[in-house]
Amino acid sequence: MGDRLHYFEDLERALESSDPRLAELVCAYAEQPDPPNGVPEDHDPQKPVPRPPSDAWNLQKVRTALGKWSLYGKTDEQKKAIRQNAWRQLEDIDHPPPRLRLGPFVLDLDDRAEAGDAYARAQLLQIVRDVRISWGIWRGLKKLYKRAEARFDAELFGLFAWRFDQIYQTKQNNEVGGATYAYLRRRAWRFLRHLGASVPEAYPNYAVQVMRHYRGNNLWGTWVLPQMWAHEDLKYVTSSWITKPPQDLSRRAFDEAWKVTPEPLLRLLEDGQQDEVLDFAIRSLQQDFPDELRSPDVAWLVRLGSRPQARLHQFVVETLKANPDFHQSKLKAAGLHDLVLSLLRSTLLDACLYAVEYAQAHAPDLDDDALLEVAQAPLPPATKFAVERLEKRSATQLGLERLLRMLKIGSLKNLAQTKLKEAFAPTALTEAQYIQLRRGGQENFLAKWYQETKTEPPTSHLIALVESDGFNQWQINNVLRGELGKRPIEEIGAAWVMQGVHDRRFASEVQRWLTAGKLKGAALDVDWLKGLVNRASTRNMAFTVLTKFVEPHRVGFAWLLSMSRQSDAQIAQFAQRYLLQHFAPADFAGGNEAAGEEKIWSLLAPTEPDAVRQFAANYLTLHHPVLGPKTESARQLGVAPRLARESYTAARVTPVFRDALPELRRFAVAVAKQEIVVWNEPKLAYRLSGAPKPEARRFGTSVLRAIGEARDAGSLASGREDAWRPVDAVPIEWLDGALMFELAESRHKSTREAALDVILTHYAAIGSTARLVWLMESSERDVRIFAVRLLWSRRNEEFEDRAALELFVRRILFGLPPGRMERRGDDALKQRPIPASVAKRRLIEVVRDLAMENAEFAALAAAPLTSFAHSEAKGEWHACVAALARIRRAHPSLASQLSLEPTDAEARA
């Protein structure tokens, strides 16, 4: 269903069942906004509203069509046609505004009333009196008014005439224009005028039916009422300024008609709701029917005096004073005692003084409850009388309950406070009475009362107060923070606190109690507190209380370990932090130190949740005797290392280098930096250098680069690579040529570069021409280029094995492919990348220099140089020819061996 409170089918159902609330439902239905254009009133607001056609009619389009400027310049016939067409178009859409059905609904109700249905008649009158007039129901009301005129229905006509007159005056036009109301009120007066002219004796009855409905003090601008009061003064005028009946009643309309019978005026006295209307009736009776007032009926006077209008009270008092039979001494016997006493609460001063005079003389036994009502009267003489009477009563005569009621009455407040302090202590207050005073604005009096008697409100009273209805959240928080929060937990009760955590009224303050330590020790149910961790609204509070006020053994290692496995990051982090702060390794295995260590290392297994594995790595880091004190989180948590270095063995740490989690691999690196030299595992560094994980490779290569370095505590340079190097100096004995040259052909570029750097640094210890030749067989181009650079750097050294040199030279010259070298970020070899042709030229120059120095070597190098001199690459054969020329010049005896003519095999090739 839609978001409307009432639907038209509700009205139909109420009518069929004779629901006494039918008129209220119709009025509420008329107040509802219209549903979206073109959709039924029970449309689901969660579903999209279909867009109506651009030319579809709606109420706004009707307003525009019937607007002043749209009808400007049109004839009456044209205006009528436009109006009829607009309403026809609106009613023809699929779902016209549902309030358009209210017009036929009220007409149907009138038909039932005319058929003798008293229920329908009563509901119809209430609708005409109270409903908001707007399009839809207006069509029915307009026809209904015409029916009232045609049927001479005085009651219904009076309602319509009053509404038209009062609505126009208060500008409550809604969708019905002001000109329409102006016409209708003039039409109503015209009906009355014609009635008075044709049937004068009926005129007062209709006039009274109109007058009885006026209310309030604002009568300015009304038209029908002033015409009835002073028609003779309003002839030939278009507006009224009269708000009171004239002193000369002969100016009223149809003056003689009012003198026929007093019945209409007497009925107006009992039904009228406005003082000026009642004044008109009273003065008319006094002028035209004085005999009716000389001996009034007592029951009639009681009915008039019991009504709240001040003018009636004045009339009753004047009547009583003017009649000797109603002397004050005779009023009780005449049955007017209660009537006069009720005038103590009148808003008319004369009536109030008359009642006070009577009560002082003839009502000495006025009971205390009646005096309390008089004390709340609007005029001072009545309240003074009540206070004087109550002052003579003792506190015990009044009783605690009545004194508490007196506190809420302004004129009796001081008296009640004085008498309460004389005879009672605040401890006599029940919970209900205490709550009544607190909610009645007596906080200051109560506080002073308790202070003077050196007592305090019972804790049960404060609890009942905050649980009672009528307190806003600010007041509840003040009581919880300022009063109840200061009481010991034994008085409040742990059960109430535990329930208050889940009550939205108390939750914030009760949680503040708990975080301040109000509930702790044996009174604190730790299992209940653990349960609060699972609720987002109480989780932070529970964490705080567990941390500050619960001993670690009560929290429990098993629960914390299970929480550390939770998918919720906040819960897992709390549990892990708590374990780090408060639990030693032995706690992980029931006090067994060795088993506890093994348990911690087992938490690194891939079968554990990632959060648990990261916690285990963090725990092992903080409890490392060297790493822990250097860690910022260890200083923040106050964690002192509880593990020895012997716990961090290579067998435990090495598998972590292969872990899928980068955080764990970094943990392994951090530990290995401290321990690898202690482990004395040289081959581990070589294995890590070729490992698949980047953290392991970076650490392994940093260890290899650090071999043989002379280092002390202050020698580590800052930088990206230094962060991975081991803490202790790596002994030179870890240098292994075979493993190093093997790493030089690793598939990981960073590993190859590190190996080549170490080979370059320690070539004297691990290098040889045979190994350089072996490197020349590498599939990696940068490794082969490295051999050229190394040869270039060592070109002045003599090769021991000339056959190896010749083979090496041939492989370099014929095996180095053409093309540009890839760029490298090597810090050890910072030469610019060179093309293969330059590398070959440099090799040729190396061979040339060596040959010029040594004739024997020149004879050895002649063959490969001569073969390469016939290359199709211009730069290559130029370099070879130049080299041969210089060698021949240096060694003339070898000229025949340095010929540039190709051999038969070379020519065939």
CA distance 530 to 544: 12
Q: Determine the Cα–Cα distance for residues 433 and 300; give it in Å rounded to an integer.
A: 42
CA distance 652 to 658: 12
- C-alpha neighbours within 13 Å on the C-beta side of residue 457: 28
pTM, two decimals, is 0.62
Q: What is the DSSP letter of 707?
A: B
Q: How far apart are CA 741 and CA 335, in angstroms?
A: 130
- 694-705 helix and 662-679 helix, angle to the nearest 10 degrees: 30
> Residue 1: pLDDT band by 50, 70, 90 thresholds?
very low
The encoded tokens of residue 545 equal 């209380």
**Distance between alpha carbon 715 and the CA centroid of its chain, in Å?**
57
Q: Is 677 in a helix, a strand, or coil?
A: helix
Cα–Cα distance measured from residue 170 to residue 185, given in angstroms and rounded to the nearest whole number: 13
Can you say whether the dihedral through the CA atoms of 686, 688, 689, 690 is positive or negative?
positive
Please check whether residue 577 is in contact with residue 637, taking contact to mean a CB–CB distance below 8 angstroms. yes
Q: For 347-361, 410-424, 739-753, 827-841, which range has the lowest pLDDT when averaged over its residues?
A: 827-841
Q: Residue 860: what residue type?
A: L
- 97-137 pLDDT, tens per residue? 888 889 999 999 999 999 999 999 999 999 999 999 988 89
pLDDT at 908: 39
How large a percentage of the chain has pLDDT more than 90? 47
Exposure string for 62-71, b = 16+ CB within 10 A, e = fewer: beebbeeeee
Distance from C-alpha of 459 to C-alpha of 465, rounded to nearest angstrom: 10
C-beta neighbour count of 849 within 10 angstroms: 15
pLDDT value at residue 904:
46
Q: Name residue 558's amino acid.
A: A
Q: Are 472 and 433 in contact (CB under 8 A)?
A: no
7-16, 146-155, 337-346, 858-867: segment of lowest average pLDDT: 858-867
58: left (phi over 0), alpha (psi -120 to 50) or beta: beta
Residue 495's pLDDT band, with cuts at 50, 70 and 90, is very high
Query: How sure is the predictor about 760, in pLDDT bands with cuts at 50, 70 and 90?
Result: confident
Q: Which of 163-172, 380-389, 613-622, 742-751 has the lowest mean pLDDT?
A: 163-172
Q: Which of 22-31, 200-209, 602-611 has the lowest mean pLDDT?
A: 602-611
649-669 confidence digits (pLDDT tens): 999 999 999 999 999 999 999
**Torsion angle of the four alpha carbons 514, 515, 521, 527, in this order, in degrees rounded to the nearest 10:** 70
Question: pLDDT band for position 168 (50/70/90)?
Answer: low
Among all chains, which residue has been given the structure tokens 């009220």?
Answer: 106
The pLDDT of 861-887, averaged and rounded, is 78
**pLDDT bucket at 806, cuts 50 / 70 / 90:** low
Q: 516-529, pLDDT tens digit by residue?
A: 998 888 889 999 99
Please check whether residue 676 is in contact with residue 695, taking contact to mean a CB–CB distance below 8 angstroms. no
As a whole number, mean pLDDT of residues 81-89 equals 84
Q: In degrees rounded to 5, what are phi and psi of residue 228?
A: -70, -35
Q: pLDDT band for position 909 (50/70/90)?
A: very low
The answer to whether residue 4 scores a pLDDT higher than 60 is yes
Model confidence over 253-301: pLDDT tens digits? 999 999 999 999 999 999 999 999 999 999 999 999 998 888 899 999 9
CA distance 607 to 618: 18
In this prediction, residues 59-88 reach a mean pLDDT of 82
Pick the range with the lowest mean pLDDT from 183-197, 281-295, 854-868, 893-907.
893-907
Provide, rounded to the nearest whole percent, the portion of the chain with pLDDT above 70: 87
CB atoms within 10 A of CB 41: 20
Q: What is the DSSP letter of 821?
A: P
Rounded distance, CA 854 to CA 890, Å? 10
Enclosing H/E stretch for 579: helix 569-582
* Separation of alpha carbons 575 and 70, rounded Å: 76
CB 561 within 8 A of CB 567: no
Contact 550, 524 (CB under 8 A): yes
Start-to-end Cα distance in the chain: 98
C-alpha–C-alpha distance, residues 345 and 375, integer Å: 9
| Per-residue pLDDT tens over the stretch 541-575 | 999 999 899 988 898 888 988 888 888 889 988 88
pLDDT-based confidence at 876, cuts 50/70/90? Answer: confident
Q: What is the pLDDT of residue 281?
A: 96
In this predicted structure, the answer to whether residue 710 has a pLDDT above a threshold of 50 is: yes
Gap between the Cα atoms of 371 and 344, Å rounded: 10
Going by pLDDT thresholds of 50, 70 and 90, the confidence category of residue 796 is low
Contacts of 653 (CB under 8 A, 6+ apart): 668, 671, 672, 675
Position 902 pLDDT exceeds 60? no
- Does residue 132 contact residue 31 with C-beta atoms inside 8 Å? yes
The three-point CA angle 221-226-228 to 5° equals 150
Residue 175 clears pLDDT 90, i.e. is over it: no
Per-residue confidence (pLDDT) for residue 217, from 0 to 100: 82
pLDDT of residue 714 exceeding 60: no
Is residue 225 within 8 Å of residue 210, measured between CB atoms?
Answer: yes
Q: How many helices (H) and strands (E) does the chain have?
A: 54, 0
Q: Report the pLDDT value the prediction gives residue 70, as an integer from 0 to 100.
A: 81
- Tell me the mean pLDDT in the region 312-325: 93
The residue-averaged pLDDT of 790-804 equals 56
Cα–Cα distance measured from residue 180 to residue 187, given in angstroms and rounded to the nearest whole number: 10
Token couple for 780: 């990696």
Closest CA relative to residue 656, chosen from 636, 646, 640, 670: 670
pLDDT band at 798 (very low <50, low <70, confident <90, very high): very low
pLDDT at 363: 93
Provide the token pair at 354: 């008359």
Residue 60 has pLDDT above 60, yes or no: yes
Q: Which of 55-69, 341-355, 667-681, 874-888 has the lowest mean pLDDT?
A: 55-69
* Between 86 and 605, residue with greater pLDDT: 605
Q: Which two tokens stand for residue 559?
A: 């629960």
Q: For residue 813, what pLDDT is reported? A: 62
Average pLDDT over residues 69-88: 84
Q: Name the residue among 770, 778, 741, 736 with its Cα closest to residue 756.
A: 741
Q: Of 291, 286, 237, whose CA–CA distance to 258 is shortest? A: 286
Mean pLDDT for the stretch of residues 701-708: 89
Distance of alpha carbon 883 from alpha carbon 846, whole angstroms: 10
In 3-state terms, what secondary structure has residue 730?
A: strand
Average pLDDT value over all residues in the chain? 85
Q: Is the pLDDT of residue 826 over 50?
A: no
- pLDDT over 90 (residue 870): no
Residue 851 or residue 907, greater confidence: 851
Cα 48 to Cα 45, 96, 820: the distances in Å are 7, 18, 67
791 pLDDT higher than 70? no
Q: What confidence tier does 827 reach under pLDDT thresholds 50, 70, 90?
A: very low
253: left (phi over 0), alpha (psi -120 to 50) or beta: beta
Residue 719: its pLDDT value, please?
A: 40
HSE-up of 61 (CA within 13 Å, CB side)?
A: 18
Q: Is the pLDDT of residue 470 over 60?
A: yes
Considering only 68-72, 340-344, 700-704, which range has the smallest mean pLDDT?
Answer: 68-72
* Rama region for 254: left / alpha / beta (φ>0; ψ in -120 to 50; rest): left
pLDDT of residue 763: 82
Mean pLDDT, residues 370-388: 95
Who wins on pLDDT, 3 or 731?
731
Q: Give residue 57's pLDDT.
A: 79
The residues facing 707 across adjacent strands are 730
Whether the pLDDT of residue 878 is over 60: the answer is: yes
